[in-house]
Amino acid sequence: MNLASHPSHAFLPYPAAPVANAASGPLAGLTFAAKDLFDVAGYPTGGGNPHVLAMSGIKTATAPTVQRLLDAGAAFVGKTHTDELAFSMNGKNAHYGAPVNGAAPGRVTGGSSSGSASAVSNGLCDFALGTDTGGSVRAPASHCGLFGIRPTHGRISLAQCLALCGSFDTCGFFARDIGTFARVAEVLLGDDARPLPASPRLLLAEDLFRMPTPAALDALLPVVGGIEAAFGNATPVTVADRALEDIWWAFRYVQGWEAWQADGAMIEQYGLQLGPDVAARFAFSKSVTAAQFEASSAIRRAFTAHLAALLGNDGILILPTMPDIAPLSDAAGEELETYRNRSAQTLCLAPLSGFPHLSLPLASRAGAPLGISLMGPAGSDRSLIAFAEKLVMALS
């Protein structure tokens, strides 16, 4: 089947080009897709924008992270849609439309790794690469009922991948089951620099559990109870070192400053026609001053030190991924923006700190999935996934 014609609208309609993979390896027998920010030889890289696509040309080299998967035996099946310039979290692209959420077809996928989450949730590939700057893997993972990780910052290469914010951008990935997810993690993450102990110290993000809606909280708390029944009580903690809204604004200023440094010249030089929501974000980004960036960077450093002390070398933080299940696909733009901003107050903590954040599809309500998350110290990614494997087994 031509995946680009699948009703999920997950894949871009690029002409198929041969992409060789190893005949054997740890990922042999698995198929994968890559968000259309990563270069793949034989394909253009469009970044969710027609002008960027027009300037791309056909790439002659493959991004190192994609190549690692190919060398491990995984077979590439295509490039997936992304929100425009990766600067959104809804999964709706003004130029190309919206991929379909395979776990809740009447609801948004979330973005900006919308096509990758759609492809995996619709069973069109075994796993997929995405990127996460402010939540672009974790949000769609929660919305689409997938395992998804934002790794420790810099742990997976983003060479030959379109940038948005250098100090926030990370490469993440999705899978439907924890076994496949762990196989991919072994290839992409390698060994932990700071492995967690066999019995980590569990922490419950008391302040962050005030963010979900009452209905979402009712769905999440039994999962927390199951975790504590299997692994012992989690100590309630306050994650934020100041008002969450102040931390979120620090994130917004740093993100805006870096986004304009990355894309502003291109937007202005070539007159890129952006969707209204993305255009508004770049207009805000252009307005961020150096003084705002510096003040926000100081808040970032203080919060990171606070979170590092809280987690130590042995802590796993339990927190909600999103404030609720995915909004309906026909929700108004203003409603989606409000939901995005509320979500970002929790999602921004991992990019600000650079610590790994793993979303698990362990809750649901109203027939739609809802993620719950684990966060650990920098460099503990594989340990988090190993704990998740034990957790899934305990709750099954």
| Active-site residue (options: 8, 88, 112, 359) | 112
Q: Which two tokens stand for residue 376?
A: 């650990």
In CATH, what is the architecture of 201-395?
A: Alpha-Beta Complex (3.90)
Each residue's pLDDT tens digit, 317-358: 999 999 999 999 999 988 988 899 899 999 999 999 999 999
DSSP element (H, E) containing 369: strand 368-375
Q: What's the pLDDT at 337? A: 87
183 contacts 26 by C-beta, under 8 angstroms: yes
Go through the chain and tell me how many residues it has: 396
Q: What's the pLDDT at 233? A: 98
**What percent of the chain lies above the pLDDT cut of 90?**
97
Residues 142/147/148/151 CA torsion (nearest 10 deg): 140
| Active-site residue (options: 8, 118, 136, 380) | 136
User: Is residue 192 scored above 90 in pLDDT?
Assistant: yes
Is residue 5 annotated as part of the catalytic site, yes or no?
A: no
| CA 240 to centroid of chain Cα atoms | 21
> Any idea what DSSP says for residue 6?
S
Q: What whole-number distance in Å separates Cα of residue 273 and Cα of residue 268?
A: 10
Q: Which two tokens stand for residue 154?
A: 């810099």
Q: Kind of pairing, strands 357-365 and 147-150?
A: antiparallel
164 contacts 377 by C-beta, under 8 angstroms: no
User: Is residue 2 scored above 80 in pLDDT?
Assistant: yes
Cα–Cα separations (whole angstroms), residue 280 to 88, 153, 250, 261, 272: 11, 27, 18, 16, 13
SS3 88: coil
17 contacts 62 by C-beta, under 8 angstroms: no
340 contacts 90 by C-beta, under 8 angstroms: yes
User: Is residue 150 scored above 80 in pLDDT?
Assistant: yes
Average pLDDT over residues 302-313: 98
| Active-site residue (options: 8, 35, 121, 380) | 35
Q: What whole-number distance in Å separates Cα of residue 39 and Cα of residue 18?
A: 14
Average pLDDT over residues 357-367: 98
In CATH, what is the architecture of 3-189?
A: Alpha-Beta Complex (3.90)
User: Is residue 383 scored above 80 in pLDDT?
Assistant: yes
Is residue 35 annotated as part of the catalytic site, yes or no?
A: yes
Is residue 286 annotated as part of the catalytic site, yes or no?
A: no
Name which of 193, 137, 239, 190 is nearest 380 in CA terms.
193
Task: pLDDT band for 180, please (50, 70, 90 cuts).
Answer: very high
Beta carbons within 10 angstroms of residue 27's beta carbon? 26
Average pLDDT, the chain: 97
Cα–Cα separations (whole angstroms), residue 376 to 146, 170, 291, 336, 380: 19, 16, 31, 29, 6
Q: What's the pLDDT at 333? A: 86
Provide the residue ranges of all domains of the chain, joining segments of one domain with +: 3-189, 201-395
Total H helices, total E strands in the chain: 12, 10
Q: 2 or 366: which carries more pLDDT confidence?
A: 366
Q: What's the pLDDT at 1? A: 63
User: Is residue 41 scored above 90 in pLDDT?
Assistant: yes
Q: Which two tokens stand for residue 320?
A: 């909600």
Each residue's pLDDT tens digit, 193-243: 999 999 999 999 999 999 999 999 999 999 999 999 999 999 999 999 999
**Same fold for the pair 3-189 and 201-395:** yes
140 contacts 370 by C-beta, under 8 angstroms: no
